[in-house]
Amino acid sequence: MLLAIIAKFDGDTALLPSEGQAEFCHQFEKAYNLFFNKGWIEALALFESLNDTHDKSVLLYIERCKRLIADPPGQDWNGITHLQEK
């Protein structure tokens, strides 16, 4: 978003995200919102559709979705992941 604002003022369209990058961000945001609203099955499907980008954050959320689907947390789940190792 910041680069889009700079590009508008500066006139440098090279700073604007490509159509593919913008679509990736849009789909990732949808999956991310589903994830935090406990829609892990739907989020998993969206993250898996983004997996061909080999983005490490996509892989991370795919694993988190699978873990939460297999072992759902309690009602008080707030989305925080507590890491157990370095």
* Averages of pLDDT over each 10 residues, the chain, 86 residues: 55 72 92 96 96 87 96 91 80
Please, where are the H alpha helices in 11-80?
Answer: 19-36, 40-49, 56-70
pLDDT for the residue numbered 83:
80
pLDDT for the residue numbered 12:
63
pLDDT for the residue numbered 16:
74
Tokens of 62: 């795919």
Chain length of the chain: 86
Q: How far is the CA of 62 from the CAs of 7, 14, 78, in angstroms? A: 33, 31, 18
Tokens of 27: 């789909």
pLDDT for the residue numbered 18:
80
82 in Cβ contact with 74 (< 8 Å): no
> What is the pTM assigned to this prediction?
0.77
